[in-house]
């Protein structure tokens, strides 16, 4: 079987027909219409969905949430990018992760911090209050969702581990385990998957380490047991199944920079004025629709909260 390297995969090849996703498009459109007419019950219903996984206890609502209606659980968990399970976007990660086990799981915190450590995932989460945050999310391939994440502010974790004065970036790594992740046996990407943020980005109030969606634990295809959520950046910045968080002085080189440096930079800020080399970023498709009928907003609509971090930067050059 031919395994294509990421730079050789055309957009037409990574967007499967997934016609089954459309069977509830009318329901979602109807929900949005009713909300506009003053009937919010279907928004609450969408937010209360789940897949029958374990419920997360003592979750508080966050004022940082958007007021948009959440996407349907079925859609959010059936159209994913997770190269450890399958190349490209679609239902491959869901189909190929049915036997994934998120326990036991360890997270290493190291690098330029005063309080490094190795944590069991549940011990890692325990000191923090879980929050539900409904965020707009946009993928670089121009599809988008509204997702009710459950997680802990990354700023709280950073405060706890006390980075020293030399720390300027946070580097995160996905677990490298071919027993859990079958695609790690191939060379479709360079493993393990690595992503990074500037320290101020990681400390921004919007940045979340998510451990759940829709009030439940994360499904495997969405990045169990813990993943990064940065709602003003493109989806590839949301590294999944994290097992190491390292504080460093120099900018990390993330996986997509290595695989396709002419297409993917370090920052990955949603910017409709900078096209991907193979397609426009001016509009987006709010799934389950595959029609690009929504205008892309700068910083995915989070300009007020994040633009100050980039005020002296050329965002065409620093893409």
Residues 111-162: pLDDT tens digits? 999 999 999 999 999 999 999 999 999 999 999 999 999 999 999 999 999 9
Q: Which domain holds residue 298?
A: 55-66+99-284+294-310
Residue 85 lies in a domain: no
Residue 192 lies in a domain: yes
Residues in the chain: 319
CA distance 279 to 11: 8
Is there a contact between 213 and 48 (Cβ–Cβ < 8 Å)? no
- For the chain, what is the domain count? 1
Q: Which long-range contacts (CB under 8 A, 24 or more apart) does 65-69 make?
A: 65/132, 65/133, 65/134, 65/135, 65/148, 66/134, 66/135, 66/136, 66/146, 66/301, 68/134, 68/136, 68/146, 69/28, 69/31, 69/32, 69/35, 69/42, 69/43, 69/146
The CA R_g of the chain, rounded to the nearest whole Å, is: 19
3 state SS of 246: strand
* The pLDDT value given to residue 25: 42
3 state SS of 88: strand
CATH number at residue 110: 3.90.420.10
Residue 225 lies in a domain: yes
Is there a contact between 305 and 37 (Cβ–Cβ < 8 Å)? no
* The pLDDT value given to residue 239: 98
CA distance 130 to 150: 6
Residue 26 lies in a domain: no
Global pTM reads 0.87
Residue 31 lies in a domain: no
3 state SS of 144: strand
- Give me the half-sphere count of Cα atoms (radius 13 Å) on the Cβ side of residue 280: 9
Name the residue with tokens 């389950």: 288
CA distance 176 to 242: 10
DSSP state of 296: P
* The pLDDT value given to residue 1: 33
Ordered per-residue pLDDT tens for the chain, 319 residues: 333 344 444 333 343 444 334 434 433 444 444 344 443 444 455 556 899 999 999 999 999 999 999 999 999 999 999 999 999 899 999 999 999 999 999 999 999 999 999 999 999 999 999 999 999 999 999 999 999 999 999 999 999 999 999 999 999 999 999 999 999 999 999 999 999 999 999 999 999 999 999 999 999 999 999 999 999 999 999 999 999 999 999 999 999 999 999 999 999 999 999 999 999 999 999 999 999 999 999 999 999 999 999 999 999 999 9
- The neighbour count for residue 218, using CB atoms within 10 Å, is 25
Ordered alpha helix ranges (H), the chain: 11-14, 25-36, 41-47, 73-76, 92-96, 121-125, 154-161, 199-203, 255-259, 303-306
Residue 111 lies in a domain: yes
Q: Which two tokens stand for residue 251?
A: 């900018």
Strand extents, DSSP E, 208-282: 208-213, 216-217, 227-229, 242-248
- The neighbour count for residue 146, using CB atoms within 10 Å, is 21
* The pLDDT value given to residue 62: 97
Question: H/E/C letters for each residue in 146-178?
Answer: EEEEEEEEHHHHHHHHCECCCCCEEEEEECCCC
Residue 210 lies in a domain: yes
* The pLDDT value given to residue 45: 54
Residue 22 lies in a domain: no
């Amino acid at each position: 079987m031919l395994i294509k390297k990421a730079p050789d995969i055309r957009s037409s090849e990574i967007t499967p027909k997934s016609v089954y996703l459309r069977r509830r498009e009318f329901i979602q459109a109807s929900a949005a219409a009713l909300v506009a007419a003053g009937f919010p019950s279907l928004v609450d219903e969408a937010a209360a969905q789940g897949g029958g996984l374990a419920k997360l206890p003592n979750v508080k609502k966050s004022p940082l949430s958007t007021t948009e209606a959440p996407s349907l659980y079925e859609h959010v968990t059936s159209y994913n990018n997770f190269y450890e399970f399958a190349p490209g976007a679609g239902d491959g990660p869901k189909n190929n992760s049915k036997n994934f086990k998120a326990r036991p799981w360890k997270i290493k915190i190291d690098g330029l911090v005063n309080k490094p450590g190795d944590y069991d995932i549940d011990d890692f989460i325990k000191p923090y209050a879980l929050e539900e945050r409904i965020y707009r999310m946009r993928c670089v391939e121009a599809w988008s969702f509204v997702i009710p994440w459950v997680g802990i502010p990354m700023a709280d974790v950073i405060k706890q581990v006390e980075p020293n004065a030399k720390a300027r970036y946070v580097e995160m790594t996905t677990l490298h385990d071919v027993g859990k992740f079958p695609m790690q046996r191939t060379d479709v990407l360079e493993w393990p998957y690595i992503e990074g943020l500037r320290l101020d980005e990681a400390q921004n109030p919007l940045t979340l380490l998510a451990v759940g969606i829709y009030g439940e634990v994360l499904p495997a295809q969405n990045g169990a047991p813990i993943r990064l959520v940065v709602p003003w950046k493109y989806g590839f910045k949301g590294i999944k199944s994290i097992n190491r968080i390292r504080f460093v002085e120099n900018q990390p080189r993330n996986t997509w920079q290595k695989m396709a440096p002419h297409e993917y930079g370090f920052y990955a800020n949603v910017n409709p004025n900078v096209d991907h080399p193979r397609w426009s970023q001016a509009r987006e498709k709010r799934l389950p629709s595959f029609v690009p009928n929504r205008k892309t907003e700068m910083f995915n609509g989070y300009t007020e909260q994040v633009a100050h971090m980039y005020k002296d930067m050329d965002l065409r050059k620093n893409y």
